[in-house]
Amino acid sequence: DESSWSDYGPSSSGNHRSLTPFAFRADRYTSDVSESDSETDPEFEAHKQLLRRQRWEELRDKFEMQQKWDEDRERNFVFSLL
């Protein structure tokens, strides 16, 4: 049974945090918050996270395979190249 991170969609019941790449998480860098900005606006943080999540959803589609290959389909494809 082969599976990869791209097999899991938004409907999976797993932890979405672990499925979202590090760069698209809200708390990805501690340097994002400056020393003088100790209080962050929760609405602003939620908006940033929403934008990151939307970008990830758009990019994830590009990483997923468009066609699922089974053994027969793969064999036919290889023979068509010969």
**Residue-wise pLDDT tens digits, 27-64:** 555 555 555 555 678 888 889 889 988 888 888 877 76
How does the average pLDDT of the chain come out, rounded?
Answer: 69
Query: What are the CA-CA distances from residue 34 to residues 37, 39, 40, 52, 73 (Å)?
Result: 5, 10, 10, 20, 54
Pairwise CA distance, residues 82 & 72, whole Å: 16
Measure the CA–CA gap between 2 and 70, rounded to whole angstroms. Answer: 12
pLDDT band at 12 (very low <50, low <70, confident <90, very high): very low
In the predicted model, is pLDDT for residue 20 greater than 80?
no
- The DSSP 8-state label assigned to residue 52 in this structure reads H
What pLDDT does residue 2 have? 45
Give the predicted TM-score (pTM) of the model. Answer: 0.37
